[in-house]
Structure 1
Amino acid sequence: MPSEHASAELLGALSRLLSALTALDRTFERTGRGAVPAPVVAARAEVIDQLSDYVIPRLVQLEAPLLTVVGGSTGAGKSTLVNSLVGEPVTESGVLRPTTRSPVLVHHPEEEHWFQPDRILPQLPRTEVTTNDVYALRLVSSDLVPRGLAILDAPDIDSIDADNRQLAAQLLAAADLWLFVTSAARYADQVPWDYLARAAERASSVAVVLDRTHEEQVVEVRGHLARMMTSRGLSDSPLFTVSETQTDESGLLPRSAVAPIRTWLHELAGDPMGRASVVHATLDGAVRHNVMAAFDIADGMDAVVTGAASLHAVLDAAFESSSAQLRRQAVDGSLLRGRVLSRWQEFVGSGELLRSVEERVTRLRDRIVENVTGRRAKSDEVLESVTEALQGLVREHVERAVRDTATGWTDSSAGASSAAEEGLDRVSREVAVTAERLARDWRDRVVDMVRSQGADKRMSATFLAVGVNGVSVAVMVLAVSSEAQSRDRSLALAERLLSSIFEAAPAAALVQRAATALLEVVGTPLDAERRRLGGLIDSPARLEALRDEVRGAARQAEYARHLDFFADGGKHA
């Protein structure tokens, strides 16, 4: 038997491996956007199940009874065989197919504690009554079962019911010993041999029972079956034969029909060294198989890392392009078009505003008040039109970035074909709200700048005539055109207006501050959408770390397995 230190080392390594594989949950759920190959997904699920159901619980309790799982083809007589091996009816034979009932585990009354929910097969709830819940494990105690042995009647491995098939595979993977039951009519079927091939690959302990075979067929069928076992790596597995015979009133086969199997199992149960040898052989084979599968999963993650990098590259390119264009168009005069330009020209009146201000001294007071009131109403219209145009520009570039990302993901070899179907080509509802808020916040910030810088100018005739909003309009239209290659002639009027209030240098500085403030916030909705879409795919760095953790845990487990092996004197491999 392995030393306590070696088993502890192996247990810790396998627990780390289980944690590393479990941490891949989020990644492996995203096969539509993550290019996780289906075989890798299936391998991960299988390794997690076997580590959780069998390997780790068995390592924790090496002294537990030998768990013999009786499995096989539909109609092979598994339940009848289990009842006959025990010596009393403990499980119901299925008349209709598929049989929908819980699997049955039979054990000695004094060994029930080994099969509590926190031990072997911890994921299956326990019950002591017959139930149709296929995932409930029914525990039956019987004095006829020797200490050191437990027998589990599993569903058909070729059941037409998917739940039955899935549970059968799970139970067989949790067996110390698989008692495979077949018949003369079914022994050459492909599905059972697929399971047997996997058992041989894992070096699992297997015994085969040729059941329900007429006497005249025994020699021929048994010989053919033995050759098939040899060719598939099962030459060392015991082969038993149960001839076709009548059952008694309790549904049991004659004791003589099952005596060789029953004797063999009872001898294993009564021989601690023999039982330990079977357990260690199966356990070591399971550890080796799962460690190798973990390396394959880590290798499969290479494609996932590459795929994630590709998706992030698409995302980055789309948003960086939109961000660069948005920042450029926010200040190159693109906003000073259409309705904005029309409102601005109405406000400045092709120079009429400045002329009215310059002539203010010769006007009557009531005429000045009338003129100022009208100008202020028009300045509000310009403020609103600039705000709306800025919102529209932001939304336009966010929508383009999201659309380009979705298109790139759809076309990507990383497997993002579900992008459009999932609505990823549409911006989130928050974009419109955020765009409106940033536009209004920028407008208010400009107004505050004007109010602050013009604190000592407010009593000037020009400031009074135009008002805070009028001056702010001039600052905003100049800010959104600060990098323009060519300017509308009406912008010269805005420069003259500001210079007449603040002088040229302070006026230019004010406009620059407004433009800088705009560039600081204009990309906010883009950044939010970029984070949203980026959150739908894992970062390559995170995936690399997960992959490396799986690979490192597998290496540690392989080292610990060899340590366990040498501590046992090389008696199991």
Structure 2
Amino acid sequence: MAGTSGLLDALRELRRRLDGELFPLSVGDVAADRRACRELAGQLDDYLLPRLEAIDAPLLAVVGGSTGAGKSTLVNSLVGADVTVPGVLRPTTLGPTLVTGPADEEWFLGRNVLPGLPRVTGHGRGEPGTLRVVTAETLPAGLALADAPDIDSVVTANRELAAQLLAAADLWLFVTSAARYADEVPWGFLRDARERSTALAVVLNRVPGDAIDPVRGDLARLLAANGLGDVPLFTVPEVDPLEHGRLPADLVRPVADWLGEICADARSRAAIVRRTLGGALDSLTVRVPALAEAVERQRRGIRELREAVERAYDAGMAAFDDGMSDGSLLRGEVLARWQDFVGTGELMRSLEARVGRIRDRIVALLTARPAPDTRLRVALGSGLEALIRATADRAAERSLEAWSATPAGRDLLARAGVVAAGRLGRASAVLPDRAAAAVRDWQGYVLDLVRAEGADRRTTARLASLGVNGTALLLMLAAFASTGGLTGIEVGIAGGASVLSQKLLEAIFGDQAVRTLAERARQDLRRRVRGVLDEEMTRFTALLDGLLEAPGPAEDTARALRECARAVRERRHTLDLAATPGGPRDEDGAAMHSGPHGRRGGT
């Protein structure tokens, strides 16, 4: 249609934005969000885009309604031929049948309407998941009737297909019966038609002769109460059908004449198409922003899961900091090795001539026992590795607990699988190797610090008496210089060690340099441990990143959806929705208005 290219572009961009999984997690009422997204994408594919591309194409009237309302019988009776297969078994309509005149057959055999449904031809029952297209000479040009599955079918696929067909229709011919007209399910669909200004007529079918007036009157009352008082209402009494399951022609003639007038008058047909199309477009201004909010809710849920993991590992880093300063690293094996290093005179002997140190190393080699400084370094490294492992285990446990406490987290863990979820609650299998490498690299860094600081000639001379390794050990201990967490004799020993190592380091480097070196050593260790914890954290965040990768909900999806809705609203005026006078009339001769704002036809 001329002048609507901008509107078509906006709709195509909207449809593109709906591709992919926008709602991967159980956040909010995710089932409703997913359903709304499917329905919107389906209406764009099945109706809005093809109809806007061919505004003057034949009109599609979908005959829908409840189980047992007599939809198939009504279609056969309107066409005057056996084009559908009515029956007593439910569900009767397994695959929808579309009936069209010969002039419009090519249009409906193509993928112009309901492009996702494969076409089949011929008589008989339609196969599930297909659209059977048949022709009838009696059907006027410009009109097709589609016999939809039951909207309240026990088969979920049938209910969804019925909703899909109704969303793709230019006109609803909604069929109910005297026994089912008050059911809630049909009224949900009728209210949707009202909200979207869908062109609509209601056929009250199978009404016993003595109940026509009261039942019709009650249905009219309900229509008015639901804002549908202007909807054309046709009544078909209950009678024994003629052979082939068709109703007497005179009983369905008012409906047939009404449909015929629509098709005979191009202006009336165009008014119906434009009203239904306009109502569907107007609904986007509400439905799309609501979908955008749901996408934002989804991303907030994902972000909250990420923040829970980050908090857990930040808490782990804080626990490691406490472990460095509370004296726990100077307990047990480290404390014993410090006693060997200091209490047995090893530290003092290291201050003697180089010959003394060489002698000790030769003795250690011959006795196969490491020197006390080596044992102290190993013990300190083992203590650090154990602290890193405990920190990582607790952070993983906290992360798993946080995720398990939310529906979104449980959903994501379920996707990961029971076994994988259990492994997430503790440190990874490769953590010990990573922790050992981090500690080993840190100890090498401290050695390099000592070498670099001792490059000065005078410092070199002082450093030579203690040795680089021994000095580096003292600097490592200075990084944990604290007596917090120690008791009794431990305080005295550790405190004495701290004072002694501090004095010796100050004698070599000076007090300010020692403070700087110790701080640099601490910060480098923290950086390496943080890196190890970040690697551990990726086991959780990788699951979240997988949700956000294409085709998941991209960061700009919600904003883009709102922009699409705004573009549709701004370009909506290009569609001519002017009411057309002299349109078709209902069974009582009243003017037929295709939306909720005109007079109600029929009595």
Cross-structure match for 2:525: 518
Change (3 A) 1:461 1:228: closer
- Give the total of aligned pairs: 558
Cross-structure match for 2:25: 30
Quick check: 1:240 aligned with 2:234?
A: yes
Kindly provide the CA deviation profile for residues 413-443 of structure 1, in whole angstroms up to 9, marking residues without a partner as x. Answer: x976768877497246255554344233334
What is the TM-score of this pair, normalised by structure 1? 0.80
Aligned partner of 1:66 among 59, 74, 77: 59
Cross-structure match for 1:426: 425
| Contact 1:291/1:558 (8 A) holds in 2 | yes
Aligned partner of 1:98 among 69, 86, 91: 91
| Contact 2:25/2:411 (8 A) holds in 1 | no
- State the SS of the aligned residue for 1:245: coil
Cross-structure match for 2:571: 560
Within-5 A mapping of 1:81-230: 81-99=74-92, 101-115=94-108, 118-128=111-121, 134-230=128-224
- State the SS of the aligned residue for 1:98: coil
Task: Report the AA paired with residue 4 of structure 1.
Answer: A
Q: Which runs of 5+ in 1 are unaligned?
A: none
Aligned partner of 1:490 among 466, 488, 497: 497
Give the stretch that moved more between structures: 67-76 or 78-87: 78-87
Change (3 A) 1:272 1:132: closer
In the TM superposition, what is the alpha-carbon distance from 1:253 to its structure 2 partner? 3.2
| Contact 1:106/1:139 (8 A) holds in 2 | yes
Task: Report the AA paired with residue 568 of structure 2.
Answer: A
Kindly provide the CA deviation profile for residues 375-410 of structure 1, in whole angstroms up to 9, marking residues without a partner as x. Answer: 646555444433332233223333444444555566
Cross-structure match for 1:4: 2
In the TM superposition, what is the alpha-carbon distance from 1:89 to its structure 2 partner? 2.3
- State the SS of the aligned residue for 1:295: helix
In the TM superposition, what is the alpha-carbon distance from 1:66 to its structure 2 partner? 0.9
| Contact 1:446/1:472 (8 A) holds in 2 | yes
| Contact 1:36/1:304 (8 A) holds in 2 | no
Change (3 A) 1:442 1:194: same
CA distance in 1, matches of 2:2, 2:433: 63
Task: Report the AA paired with residue 438 of structure 2.
Answer: L
In the TM superposition, what is the alpha-carbon distance from 1:113 to its structure 2 partner? 4.7
CA distance in 2, matches of 1:375, 1:451: 27
Change (3 A) 1:224 1:469: same
In the TM superposition, what is the alpha-carbon distance from 1:471 to its structure 2 partner? 6.0
Quick check: 1:391 aligned with 2:385?
A: yes
| Contact 2:142/2:263 (8 A) holds in 1 | yes
| Contact 1:73/1:181 (8 A) holds in 2 | yes
| Contact 1:103/1:153 (8 A) holds in 2 | yes
Give the stretch that moved more between structures: 506-515 or 220-229: 506-515
Aligned partner of 1:75 among 68, 73, 77: 68
Change (3 A) 1:564 1:481: same
In the TM superposition, what is the alpha-carbon distance from 1:150 to its structure 2 partner? 1.8
Aligned partner of 1:56 among 46, 49, 67: 49
Aligned partner of 1:342 among 321, 332, 336: 336
Change (3 A) 1:381 1:145: farther
Task: Report the AA paired with residue 550 of structure 1.
Answer: L
| Contact 1:36/1:303 (8 A) holds in 2 | no
CA distance in 1, matches of 2:102, 2:454: 93
In the TM superposition, what is the alpha-carbon distance from 1:157 to its structure 2 partner? 0.9
CA distance in 1, matches of 2:55, 2:46: 14
Change (3 A) 1:79 1:391: farther
User: Identity rate of aligned residues, in percent?
Assistant: 38
In the TM superposition, what is the alpha-carbon distance from 1:175 to its structure 2 partner? 1.1
CA distance in 1, matches of 2:355, 2:282: 101
| Contact 1:17/1:557 (8 A) holds in 2 | no
What is the TM-score of this pair, normalised by structure 2? 0.77
Cross-structure match for 1:439: 439
Change (3 A) 1:371 1:398: closer
Task: Report the AA paired with residue 12 of structure 2.
Answer: S
- State the SS of the aligned residue for 1:203: coil
Cross-structure match for 2:318: 324
Quick check: 1:13 aligned with 2:10?
A: yes
Give the stretch that moved more between structures: 320-329 or 294-303: 294-303
Task: Report the AA paired with residue 223 of structure 2.
Answer: M
CA distance in 2, matches of 1:117, 1:339: 82
In the TM superposition, what is the alpha-carbon distance from 1:304 to its structure 2 partner? 6.1
Change (3 A) 1:462 1:231: closer
Task: Report the AA paired with residue 6 of structure 2.
Answer: E
CA distance in 2, matches of 1:332, 1:53: 68
Change (3 A) 1:386 1:161: same
Task: Report the AA paired with residue 323 of structure 2.
Answer: Q
Q: Which runs of 5+ in 2 are unaligned?
A: 486-490, 581-594, 598-603
In the TM superposition, what is the alpha-carbon distance from 1:297 to its structure 2 partner? 4.0
Give the stretch that moved more between structures: 301-310 or 72-81: 301-310
Give the stretch that moved more between structures: 171-180 or 127-136: 127-136
| Contact 2:93/2:148 (8 A) holds in 1 | no
Kindly provide the CA deviation profile for residues 273-317 of structure 1, in whole angstroms up to 9, marking residues without a partner as x. Answer: 221111111111111123222334445667667767766665554
| Contact 2:42/2:164 (8 A) holds in 1 | yes
Kindly provide the CA deviation profile for residues 229-267 of structure 1, in whole angstroms up to 9, marking residues without a partner as x. Answer: 233333332222333334454333343333332333233
In the TM superposition, what is the alpha-carbon distance from 1:154 to its structure 2 partner? 0.9
| Contact 2:177/2:207 (8 A) holds in 1 | yes
CA distance in 1, matches of 2:312, 2:225: 57
Kindly provide the CA deviation profile for residues 67-111 of structure 1, in whole angstroms up to 9, marking residues without a partner as x. Answer: 111111111111122223233222222432234722222234553
| Contact 2:338/2:376 (8 A) holds in 1 | yes
In the TM superposition, what is the alpha-carbon distance from 1:173 to its structure 2 partner? 1.6
Change (3 A) 1:455 1:193: same
Give the CA RMSD over aligned residues.
4.3
